[in-house]
Amino acid sequence: MSEGPAKKEDRRKFQAIKGVRDILPPASALWNRVEQAARDVFESYNFADIRLPIFEDTALFSRSIGLETDIVMKETFTFDDKPPDLPRPNSFTDPEDYTAAIEHALKTDQIPHTAENQIILDGLKYHLSDLRNAIEKSDFEAEETARAKWTASANDLRFGQPLTLRPEATASVCRAYIEHGMHTLPGNVKLYYIGPMFRRERPQKGRYRQFYQIGAEVLGPSDAPAIDAELIEMLVAFFDRAGLAQTHLFVNSIGCKDCRPKYVDLLRAELQKVKDKLGPDSQRRIDTNPLRVLDSKLPEEQPIIEKLPRIADHLCDACKQHFAALKDELALRGIAYEINWRLVRGLDYYTRTTFEVTAAGLGSQNAVCGGGRYDGLVELLGGPPTKGIGFAIGTDRVILALEDAGKGQPKPRVDVFLAWMGAAAYAPAVSLARRLRREGFAVELPPEEMKFKKSLGLADKLGAAFALILGEDEVASGQLTLKRLSDGSQQKLAEPELLAYLKSNLRDTRA
Ligand code: AMP
């Protein structure tokens, strides 16, 4: 039976969701080039690729990134894993039986045994006892209230494990480091990753909901400043290899768990004194996260912020020494940088060294990389005491900056368009195409026979460097006609000469 015409709404065109995008050729070739530059440079510093899952236990991010940050408060994509075979309560549900079933399911881990679910179960029992009392006293009003409260609580239960699409990868790297006992590996563990991240941000140019990062992390027993400096050197080498000029490196130290809280208290006290002169966002941050006030871009707040106490003047001796040694190490490597005392980074887990790279041509979203030290994060996630430092490069923005600088990729190149004509030429064309491809040439082989003129027209439109003409005569003589499409010149060659000729003539473009 025919399904009949689809309803109008079923025939609507689909579009990518706002804030996510397709990366099409030829831009995708530039992406590949940038990612390959990262692989080459990072591997020359002995970093190895780690491939991580796209989603993780929600608690991994709330514990590491911090509940008070924007990322975890409102920007993650979180969903429940598949619920078990327990229906949601309805008007026929017996609260006694259902509460008992929930208790059993929690005990046997059919429902995730989270603190929230335990609190909800306690609430269910509480409302259940109110319900029993009301029934005993035949108080219908109280019975109805208790039943409504019980139902509302039961609907708050999280049946599946809460999962979150990763908003960043450092927490996942640390989770993997702990899970696989990587602290027993010799020396520092040096890892890099490449892949998409997800944040529910307001989309704009250079800010997407699915965006891509290239990141690297060093985990291990040592926090020697040379590690920080070498990581920064590697980052600078990457931007160089990727061809991104006009980058600017900012460096700072934000202290450790001993000296930073004292500085934050001082900052908060000073901010309280100027509270009325600040905008609503900064006013709110005085209580929640005063360091974030330093990130403010509001012009009217700038003169106030410039007069605030600076962390460099409040570092403990150990942090002061670490920062001084980092500067020496950067000088040793000839790395140009600027100290930015306001570079505090949004996330709770950073300690000591922080850094950021900005690039020209990106407008307000000009940060192409953020990084810093996070000693203590592995421990916070249940692992052994471990030092850590890393960075994340925003690939989307690197690409935008390269395109802005006119370094976009030309169309992918077809080396040879194999124009075959006549049924007898088809089988030889298929095997010749395979031999050419094995030699590394990009070959386009028309799947159906085409008229000579049409065939060459398509070769031209595809931007092929050469058309190789293979008709029945060529098959019989073993002499192929090679046409250079840029000037129309033609020559006849046997296959071995053809290969040699193509190799020497395409060498520059395929290097
Ligand atoms: P973060 O993980 O927030 O330190 O970000 C590191 C880098 O990732 C930033 O410097 C940006 O280049 C990039 N980035 C962060 N969020 C986004 C986003 N929503 N869209 C595009 N790039 C982003």
HSE-CB for 344 with a 13 A CA cutoff: 19
Whole-number pLDDT of residue 9 = 61
pLDDT in tens, 357-403: 999 988 888 999 999 999 989 999 999 999 999 999 999 999 999 99
Q: Span 154-182, mean pLDDT? A: 93
- Closest CA relative to residue 506, chosen from 428, 430, 443, 419: 443
CATH 3.20.20.60: does it fit domain 27-50+178-259+315-404? no
- Residue 101 CA to ligand 1 centre (angstroms): 45
* Cβ(474) – ligand 1 distance below 6 Å: no
pLDDT confidence of 440, banded at 50, 70, 90? Answer: very high
What is the rounded CA–CA span in Å between residue 403 and residue 244? Answer: 10
pLDDT above 70 (res 6): no
pLDDT confidence of 65, banded at 50, 70, 90? Answer: confident
- Closest CA relative to residue 480, chosen from 408, 423, 409, 432: 432
* Cβ(64) – ligand 1 distance below 6 Å: no
pLDDT confidence of 116, banded at 50, 70, 90? Answer: confident
**Tokens representing residue 197 in the block:** 């991240």
Phi, psi of 210 (to 5 degrees): -110, 115
Q: Is 416 exposed, middle or buried (0-12, 13-18, 19+ CB in 10 A)?
A: buried
pLDDT confidence of 212, banded at 50, 70, 90? Answer: very high
Of all protein residues, whose CA lies closest to atom 1 belonging to ligand 1?
Answer: 370
Q: So where are the chain's domains? A: 27-50+178-259+315-404, 82-160, 416-510
- Residue 363 CA to ligand 1 centre (angstroms): 14
DSSP, residue by residue, 220-244: ES---HHHHHHHHHHHHHHHHHHT-
pLDDT above 90 (res 347): no
| CATH assignment, 416-510 | 3.40.50.800
* Cβ(175) – ligand 1 distance below 6 Å: no
Q: Per residue, what are the HEC states of 274-328?
A: CHHHCCHHHHHHHHHCHHHHHHCCCHHHHHHHHCCCCHHHHCCHHHHHHHHHHHH
Cα 209 to its chain centre, rounded Å, is 10
- Residue 206 CA to ligand 1 centre (angstroms): 9
pLDDT above 70 (res 85): no
HSE-CB for 490 with a 13 A CA cutoff: 8
* Cβ(199) – ligand 1 distance below 6 Å: yes
Nearest 5 degrees, angle CA 343-CA 284-CA 339? 10
66-80, 127-141, 402-416: which range is least confident on average? 66-80
Please name the residues in contact with 446: beta carbons below 8 A apart, sequence gap of 6 or more.
418, 419, 420, 455, 458
pLDDT above 80 (res 307): yes
